[in-house]
Amino acid sequence: MSNENLHNGLERLNQDVVAEPPRKKKGVVREYVEALLVAVVLAFFIRSFIVEPFKIPSKSMVPTLLVGDHIFVNKFIYGLRIPGTKKWFLQFGEPKRGDVIVFIYPEDEKLDFIKRVVGVPGDHVQMKDDKFYVNDVEVMEEEIPVVGVDPKDKRRLLVSEAEAVEKIPPPFRRIPFYRGFENYKIQMENLTGYNHMIQRSRMLPNNEEIDLVVPPDNFYVMGDNRDQSADSRVWGFVPRKNLKGKALFIWLSLDSDRGGIRLKRFGKKII
């Protein structure tokens, strides 16, 4: 084959090969938009099915939770429901006595409430002679001897060391300061074999008698600020379908009384 024929053949071969166009790089704007969409979808999934943040706006759960506490709530502990509805497509686990739960307020479903479960389906709940009973067993209470503000830490209350050594477990000796604490008796309450804190008013105790049985698929709830809480004693039971989740821990606490941040409450488990 002559050089001329070889040259012509190579030219025809080159003409038959279609060059692949260069790949276009993603624009910076497109990359940011895609990352934002992924973040939004992920955040929606986490808030709807795993954990959701809530802010404590009222004093109904003092001293367990204070105004300005920001908490995380476990959304899947009791099951999974369609976001924005009360329709559950999977249910597992039930609230127990002593659980602090977030739920859709039965009288205004645009609002979320947080309270403590004190009665589960079938429980006989009574309040008589200023004593609380569940299934005819008195719920034991022990006063925590608060003697004032801790001089070493203005954001804490001081518990009598003499009495604390004998009967107050360490977790209940570290009580955050809040205005008006001197008007209350701070107590440990034992609903289920372990303690949590409540408070009772020294000036205006609510001694209204209760005698009822919690119906199926409902829960009876109270605020830990027992004498200043609008709860099941006022508006009735919480239907199971209204549940949103169980309170886990505090991730941020803004001090509405003294200003600033309550750093020592960060990460505190809610019991």
Asked if 125 and 220 count as a contact pair (C-beta separation under 8 A), the reply is yes
DSSP 48: H
Look-up of token digits 């001089």: 151
Q: In a 10 Å sphere around its CB, with 0-12 CB exposed, 13-18 middle and 19+ buried, how is residue 51 labelled?
A: middle
Asked if 250 and 267 count as a contact pair (C-beta separation under 8 A), the reply is yes
Distance CA(181)–CA(146), nearest Å, equals 9
Is residue 141 helix, strand or coil?
Answer: strand
Sign of CA dihedral 59, 64, 66, 72: negative
Residues marked as catalytic: 60, 115
Distance CA(255)–CA(95), nearest Å, equals 30
What are residue 67's phi and psi, to 5 degrees? -60, 130
Bridge pairing between strands 124-128 and 100-104? unpaired
Angle, vertex CA 56, rays to CA 246 and CA 184, nearest 5: 100
